[in-house]
């Protein structure tokens, strides 16, 4: 919206054609959304994402966070490959859980998550 709050997302189905990812024509949908978590194969933070959210990145093209934190700035958080770089899925799972605790504390002022 005009205050830059997430309200909806546009989705499209995709398929592989000769090894290339292509959109399925006519599959576009608009869905209500107030939280978007992006989980995709990591080859570095996309330029559009960096530009859209004014993100600072490291030499390894990971998102810079506050020291000892998953919080980027304001209400933005990152975990997994975008936070630590390409790694094992178990690290992404661990970081996702730790980041969720931090988000819970950010939103609620405390966390009961273990």
> What's the pLDDT tens digit per position in 2-23?
888 899 999 999 988 888 889 9
Instruction: For the beta carbon of residue 107, count every other beta carbon within 10 angstroms.
Output: 10
Residue with tokens 């290339």: 20
pTM of the entire structure?
0.57
The pLDDT-based confidence of 103 (bands split at 50, 70, 90) is very high
Quote the CA–CA distance of 54 and 50 in Å, as a whole number.
Answer: 5
Produce one character per residue of 19-34: b if its CB has 16 or more CB atoms within 10 Å, e if not: eeeeeeeeeeeeeeee
The pLDDT-based confidence of 41 (bands split at 50, 70, 90) is low
Per-residue confidence (pLDDT) for residue 65, from 0 to 100: 94
Taking the CA atoms of residue 21, residue 22, residue 28 and residue 34 in that order, the dihedral angle to the nearest 10 degrees is 20
Beta strand 71-73 pairing with 14-17:
unpaired
84 or 28, greater pLDDT: 28
Instruction: For the beta carbon of residue 114, count every other beta carbon within 10 angstroms.
Output: 5
């Amino acid at each position: 919206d005009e205050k830059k709050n997430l309200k909806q997302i546009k989705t499209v189905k995709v398929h592989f054609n000769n090894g290339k990812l292509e959109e399925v024509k006519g599959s576009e949908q608009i869905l209500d959304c107030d939280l978007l978590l992006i989980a995709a194969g990591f080859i570095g933070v996309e330029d559009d994402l960096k530009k859209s959210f004014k993100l600072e990145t490291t030499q390894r093209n990971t998102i810079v966070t506050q020291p000892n934190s998953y919080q980027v700035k304001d209400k933005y958080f990152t975990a997994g490959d975008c936070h630590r770089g390409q790694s094992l899925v178990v690290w992404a799972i661990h970081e996702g859980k730790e980041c969720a605790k931090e988000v819970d504390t950010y939103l609620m002022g405390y966390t009961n998550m273990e």
